[in-house]
Amino acid sequence: MESITASQVKDVATENGFHRIGHHKCSMCGYPTGYVIDGDHVAFDAGCDCTGRYSSRPSSFDDIARNFNMQTPEIRARMWEDFKAGKPLID
């Protein structure tokens, strides 16, 4: 499967009305981190400060696309199908 682009991610998020895309759960407290989408703006909500970082930082649709593109093509294709089917989760 080809790489996912930022605009593809944005299109699907807009079509599905995604306001939050789940990422991983914090390994220390279990907080479900994720990307928060507000129109053209994306922030990453780390939620907790277990790692000593800011709990929220500016992000982008490119960042979200990178999560897909770091996977193998097979996994990427499956994640992308789920994403398009309305499951806002990258894990």
Chain-centroid distance, C-alpha 61:
8
The torsion angles phi and psi of 71, rounded to 5 degrees, stand at: -85, 165
Per-position x/- string for 49-88, each x denoting binding to Zn ion as judged by CB under 5 A, each - no binding: -x--------------------------------------
Give, as ranges, the residues between 11 and 50 that touch Zn ion (CB under 5 A).
26, 28-29, 31, 48, 50
Nearest to 25 by CA among 59, 57, 48, 54: 48
Q: Which is nearer to Zn ion, 24 or 78 (CB)?
A: 24
Could you tell me if residue 52 is left (phi over 0), alpha (psi between -120 and 50 degrees) or otherwise beta?
A: left
Q: Which is nearer to Zn ion, 28 or 85 (CB)?
A: 28
Report the interface residues with Zn ion, using CB under 5 A.
Answer: 26, 28-29, 31, 48, 50
